[in-house]
Structure 1
Amino acid sequence: MAVYWAIAARSFRRFSTYRIATVSGAFTNTVFGFILCGIYLTLWHERPGLGGYDVADALTFVWLQQGLLMPIGIFGATTTIELGARVRSGEIAVDLYRPTHLLLWWLSVDLGRALFQLTFRGGTPLLVGALVFDLTFPSDPVAWLAFAVGLVLAIVISFCIRYLVALSGFWITDSRGMEHLAQVVSSFFSGMILPLVVFPGWIGEFARATPWAATMQVPIDIWLGRNPGGTGAALVFQLGWVLVLLLAGLLVTSVATRKVVIQGG
């Protein structure tokens, strides 16, 4: 396991070199936070209690959403974009020669990236939002711990989805189309556009059952204490998707590796 800790640490250091991009990104997320707050305030003024959220919950959702976009990788992430490029170019063969598992290598890289983004970019929008608006915060240490666990699970789920999309390049030659499609689907079903709790009927039920819901909506609801069935049920839901997606990732990796061997490397 020491090698994977080292990979994550080096990934953290690598992303720490992009200081201007980090500051610019935090500024952009903050600006979008204020824009979304204006939209949400209008919406909740017209429909008080929409989706079971009060105004403070809705505004908290906005600022948490903006802070978590990059750590979770809703729009994709450099690590998995690079993996897709390596599959296209054939450089993936180098990765397969390493004395590490392909999935665990890239998961370690992505966790290092996510930790950096969370530490130096994620908190800025939430801090600014808290200075301007009356936001909702967890009321006890257990809730903070549950949110931390939910956030880690969300990052792993997001990675697994992006990893599977990147590996699709073994079969369709170029995974960039799938990456763009995955970004659209992720934006809709994660709650990035609107909280999934406001989706009506079967659409809302379907959206909240997808793995994308476990990346954004579920951790934020843990923070707000708004999970149907309680925090424990939310974490079990996330853990279930982690296990399913990790197993899928291991299976696809195994099949893709055999495909490379059959094709001659």
Structure 2
Amino acid sequence: MGVYWAIAVRSFRRFSTYRIATLTGAFTNTVFGFIFCGVYLTLWELRPGLGGYDVSDALTFVWLQQGLLMPIGIFGASTTVELGERVRTGEIAVDLYRPTQLMLWWLSVDAGRAMFQLIARGGLPLLVGSLVFDLNFPSSAAQWVAVAAALVFGVVVSFGIRYLVALSGFWITDSRGVEHVAMVLSLFFSGTILPLVVFPGWIGEVARATPWAATLQVPIDVWLGRNPGGVGSALAFQLGWIVVLLAAGSLATVFATRKVVIQGG
């Protein structure tokens, strides 16, 4: 495991070199946080208690959402975009020659990226939001531990989805179209547009059962203490999708490797 830890550390250092882009991104997330707050305040004034959230919950959701967009990789992430590009150009052959597992290599790279983004871009919007609005924070050490676990699980679920999207390039030549479709699904089903708790009827049930819900909505609900079945069921939901997605990723890697061998002679 030492090699994967080293990969994650180097990935963290790599992304820490983009200081101007990071500050600009954090500023942009903060601006959008105020815009969303205006929309949510209007919506919750018209529909108090919408989705079981009070106004403070809704505003907290906004600032957590803005802080987690990049760490979770809701819009995609440069690591998996890079992987998709390497598949498209054939450079993935170099990765397959490394004495490491392909999926664990890229998971380590993504973990380093996510940790840097969480530190550099996750905290600033939340800090600014907490200075202006009355936000909710975890009230116990156990809840903070649960939040940390939910965030880690959310990143891994997101990686599992993005890894499968990147590997689709083995069969369709160029995964960029699938990446765009996956981003749209992520925006809708993760809670980026609206909290999934406000979706009515079967639409809400379907949305909350998808893996995208495990990336953003579930960690925020753990933070707010709003999980209907408790924290244990929320984390189990995320773990279930992690198992499914990583198993699918491992299987896809095996088939992709065989495809490369067959095509390469």
AA of the residue aligned to 1:146: A
1:76 pairs with 2:76:
yes
Say whether residues 1:9 and 2:9 are aligned partners.
Answer: yes
- TM-score by length of structure 2 reads 1.00
Aligned to 1:39: 39
Does 2:183 align with 1:183?
A: yes
Identity %: 80
Gaps (5+ residues) in structure 2? none
**In structure 2, what is the Cα distance between the partners aligned to 1:107 and 1:210?**
21
Where do 5+ consecutive residues of structure 1 fail to align?
A: none
What is the count of residue pairs matched by the alignment? 265
The aligned residue for residue 257 of structure 1 is: 257
Deviations 1:17-42 (A, max 9, x none): 00000000000000000000000000
Measured after TM superposition, the shift of residue 261 of structure 1 is 0.5
Write the deviation string for residues 54-103 of structure 1: whole angstroms up to 9, x where unpaired. Answer: 00000000000000000000000000000000000000000000000000
2:159 aligned with 1:159, yes or no? yes
- Cα distance in 2 for partners of 1:73, 1:5 equals 20
Matches within 5 A, 1:190-209: 190-209=190-209
> For 1:263, what is the secondary structure of its paired residue?
helix
Matched residues in 1 for 2:193 and 2:106: separation? 28
**Mapping of residues 243-254 of structure 1, within 5 Å:** 243-254=243-254
Q: Secondary structure at the match of 2:264?
A: coil
> 1:125 Cα shift?
0.2
Give the partner amino acid of 2:113.
R
Query: Which amino acid is the alignment partner of residue 251 of structure 1?
Result: L
SS of 2:214's partner is coil
Shift of 1:187: 0.3
One-letter code aligned to 2:239: L
- What letter corresponds to residue 264 of structure 2 in structure 1? G
User: Could you tell me how far 1:264 is from its partner in structure 2?
Assistant: 1.1
Structure 2 residue identity aligned to 1:23:
L
Deviation at residue 12 of structure 1 after TM alignment: 0.2
Q: Find the counterpart in structure 2 of residue 174 from structure 1.
A: 174
* CA offsets 1:95-118 (integer angstroms, 9 cap, x no match): 000000000000000000000000
Residue 193 of structure 1 aligns to which amino acid in structure 2?
Answer: I
1: distance between equivalents of 2:31 and 2:10? 31
Partners of 2:139 and 2:264 in 1: CA distance:
58
